[in-house]
Amino acid sequence: MEEIRLQKYLANNGLASRRKCEELILEGKIAVNGEVIKELGTKINPTVDKITYCGKQVKNTEKLIYILLNKPIGYVTTAKDQFNRDTVLDLIKIKERIVPVGRLDMYTSGAIILTNDGDFVYKVTHPKHEITKTYTVTLSGIIENQAVEKLREGVEIEDYTTRPAKVKILKTDKEKNISRLEITIHEGKNRQVRKMCEAIGSKVIALHRSKIGDIGVKDLKLGNWRYLKNYEIEKLIK
């Protein structure tokens, strides 16, 4: 979500008029993430930052939006890209400001959630909640059972060892010399599934995230999106 001036956020959410909110800032009555602010030029991100007035949180009263997108290859998962590349927000034309929950790299397709609910972003992305992500991976070559076992047990990537993963062979095609796996992980480190496959000596040809938790994109065409249902939201943050 794009940043906005602090006084605009306060006024938009009913604290007082814009001018009065500016006075409250100068008086030191407003804090951002626990730090008292006394400058009018301060900008905040409503999705991430916690704003308080005299110790009481000023909550974002915008309508909360939760969207599931089946991301095509070629789009970056950011609100604004410094290189002017297409972003996932180009696929979702709504008036509310939303932000991607986590990331999928430009060359990975599949499930990505977007929202304007900062608490939801935190709960879904924090490792302690252990929300699973399921991927379909197409690899060059015929995968061996020994390699699959390594993925299940955990492999070394750079400076860490991955946690045990669920791995299932979906298909092997000797004629095309490819294998297709389903990999389910709890972690969400940068390009983790690609690096896991590289760690067992396999090259990823295609990568698609089919599910976040139990929420899948099987019924969504690439580039299409839908609003999450209430029970889906609750299941993710329970």
Residues whose CB falls within 8 Å of the CB of residue 164, separated by 6 or more in sequence, listed in order: 152, 153, 154
**Would residue 105 show up in a list of annotated catalytic residues for this protein?**
yes
Active-site annotation holder among 105, 159, 173, 214:
105
Q: Distance between CA 149 and CA 166 in Å, rounded? A: 10
* Residue 85 in tokens: 């590349």
* Residue 202 in tokens: 């396999």
How many Å separate Cα 62 from the centre of its chain? 20
Q: Distance between CA 75 and CA 90 in Å, rounded? A: 9
Q: Distance between CA 114 and CA 130 in Å, rounded? A: 19
- Terminal Cα distance for the chain, rounded: 24
* Residue 217 in tokens: 């994109």
CA distances from 122 to 9, 85, 125, 185, 187 (A): 20, 26, 5, 18, 14
CA distances from 216 to 99, 110, 132, 196 (A): 19, 9, 11, 22
Tell me which residues are annotated as active site: 105
